[in-house]
Amino acid sequence: MIRTACLAVATLLVAGCASSPSGKRALAPIDYSVVCQQLESSGKATGALRWFHVSAERRAAYEQVFRQATDRVAAQARSRPKGSWAVVADLDETLLDNSKAECADQVQGVDVHDPDRWTQWVLSEQAEALPGAAAFVTAVRGLGGKVIVVSNREEGPHRAATLANLAKVGIVVDVLLLAKDRSDFDKNSRFRLIEEVGVAAAKLPALQVLAYVGDNIKDFPYLSQVDIGDPAQFGARYFLLPNPVYGSWQRLPMR
């Protein structure tokens, strides 16, 4: 998520930010079930968030990409022993929909990343599955593959809530590799672990990754905003989902 600050402008979201007696930052409770309706009535919804939250195009694009990924993986899995290969997926805006948290930020005028607000959302366990995500994960595991999620949610504060949220929406993953802390957002070391070393905590050896799925160019090994690698890999090994709301592209200058 890309947001920050302590502003309270909507009666729906009450107060804002304060310091508790312990010195920890206290955030007002947020009713995530209604924040998008509140944003709609305020007239503040951006086109990108509206597209992501409600459009038929987003639903169709996600279903299309996940179906293509399933077909590609199924074709390759036939000649491989079960348990010898994996699919690597990002989590946020790939498997789980965080648009309600984005609605809350826009209602309150928060426009850059706020780790405390993000943690508040993660702990609420209210993210919904994105279209096609649960079916894709189920299909991969049914074919004999391991589903490994590489996410920049944080290991300490986010693991239990993330697993609980995934279970609520019917997504079962084999391994969840989170960031150690806020300085560990480069996913390449975790990609190397999967393909070259193995995930000891999950008792998995090095696995061949048949597909990577994500919504950000950095969800794919060694790719970036300045280097997308071999374009032929997209639709073959890399499957990219649309996210016009936030991403590493936000730091690019307009040309």
**pLDDT surpassing 80 at residue 174:** yes
Q: What is the mean pLDDT of the chain?
A: 91
Q: Are 123 and 115 in contact (CB under 8 A)?
A: no
Q: Which residue has the higher pLDDT, 65 or 108?
A: 65
For residue 233, tell me if it sits in a domain.
Answer: yes
For residue 72, tell me if it sits in a domain.
Answer: yes
Q: Say what the pTM is.
A: 0.90
pLDDT tens for each residue of 51-63: 999 999 999 999 9
For residue 132, tell me if it sits in a domain.
Answer: yes
For residue 4, tell me if it sits in a domain.
Answer: no
For residue 255, tell me if it sits in a domain.
Answer: no
For residue 251, tell me if it sits in a domain.
Answer: no
Q: Which residue has the tokens 């909507």?
A: 10
Provide the CATH number for the domain around residue 50: 3.40.50.1000
Tell me the angle at which helices 35-42 and 99-107 cross, rounded to the nearest 10 degrees: 50
pLDDT tens for each residue of 78-113: 999 999 999 999 999 999 999 999 999 999 988 888
Q: Tell me which residue range forms the domain holding 21.
A: 11-242
**pLDDT surpassing 90 at residue 19:** no
- Residue 195 CA, chain-centre distance (Å), reads 21
| pLDDT level of residue 3 (50, 70, 90 thresholds) | very low
The pLDDT value recorded for residue 13 is 40
Q: Which of 162, 155, 146 is CA-nearest to residue 204? A: 146
The pLDDT value recorded for residue 206 is 97
Domains contained in the chain, number: 1
| pLDDT level of residue 21 (50, 70, 90 thresholds) | very low
Question: What's the whole-number mean pLDDT along residues 117-138?
Answer: 98
For residue 147, tell me if it sits in a domain.
Answer: yes
Q: What tokens does 101 get?
A: 């948290």
Q: What is the DSSP letter of 130?
A: P
For residue 248, tell me if it sits in a domain.
Answer: no
